[in-house]
Amino acid sequence: MTAPALPRLAVLIDGENVSPAVADALFAAAHQRGSIAVRRVYGDWQRSSVGGWRDAAGKWAIETVQQCTQQRGDGASDVRIAIDAVDLLYTGRIDGFCLVSGDGDFAPLAQRIRKSNLPVYGFGPAHAAATFRASCTEFVALKKLAPPAATAKAKLAAGCDSTLPPIDPEVIELLVDGVRQLADADGWVSLAHLGAHLHRNVPGYSHAKLGAASLSRALRRSGVFEVVTKHAGSGVVRLVAPHLAEVDSETAAS
């Protein structure tokens, strides 16, 4: 039986109102809600206030969109995001939107998208405008990720040696999609089942491709899964994004 397709999401980021420090938390949360088809960050790249998004854009393969501003706070990026969102809406190829901002000016856009029966996931600071929060299907307030409190020995045991390079974002997407497709009603999937799925669907699949000595270690190193193992090669995994620093999550009434 073919697994149902994941919802295709567009992630549109207001780079002038959201810190790049939340990028990892943002994409971990977005991956829990679907497959990211479009990812863009907007801002005036000649201004230092959005410069930090360049590194995040490289890590997460985000398209950077230049929007010149005449004066600080003129809302030029807001207008461009709204235009792009409506264009994407009418293509019929997007199943949901992740609007990343704290600006109340995005409330009408969120309301318009929801009128087309598509979900709007809002992400932004805890102090985001109440009108924007209320207009989203769900709002998640993010803060900068704190470094995990773990000893070097514990990191090594979990396959999280800090001397190793971080797991490639594309590999994380691959693992997230696999777990989402195979998970049972409680969100769990066996490591053996997931491994077989990857062998069938990923050309040239190997543990080396994941950047770890084993599948379970790759899952742990990604930072977005809970892995429970009984003995070598036996265990279960679920998507939990334990490093996602949520300070608030709201779901709007239908």
Would you list the domain boundaries of the chain?
Answer: 8-145, 152-239
pLDDT band at 110 (very low <50, low <70, confident <90, very high): very high
| pLDDT more than 90, % of the chain | 28
Q: Reply yes or no on whether the pLDDT at 160 is more than 60.
A: no
Which one is predicted more confidently, 16 or 91?
91
Report the CATH number of the 8-145 domain.
3.40.50.1010
Q: Reply yes or no on whether the pLDDT at 63 is more than 90.
A: yes
Q: What is the pLDDT of residue 151?
A: 34
Report the CATH number of the 152-239 domain.
3.30.420.610
Q: What is the pLDDT of residue 118?
A: 97
pTM, rounded to two decimals: 0.62
Q: Within 10 Å of residue 179's Cβ, how many Cβ atoms?
A: 23
Domains 8-145 and 152-239 share a fold: no
3-state secondary structure 147-197: CCCCCHHHHHHCCCCCCCCCCCHHHHHHHHHHHHHHCCCCCEEEHHHHHHH
Query: Do 164 and 142 touch, CB atoms closer than 8 A?
Result: no
H or E element, residue 32:
helix 23-33
Q: Reply yes or no on whether the pLDDT at 119 is more than 80.
A: yes
What is the sign of the dihedral through the CA atoms of 24, 30, 36 and 41? negative
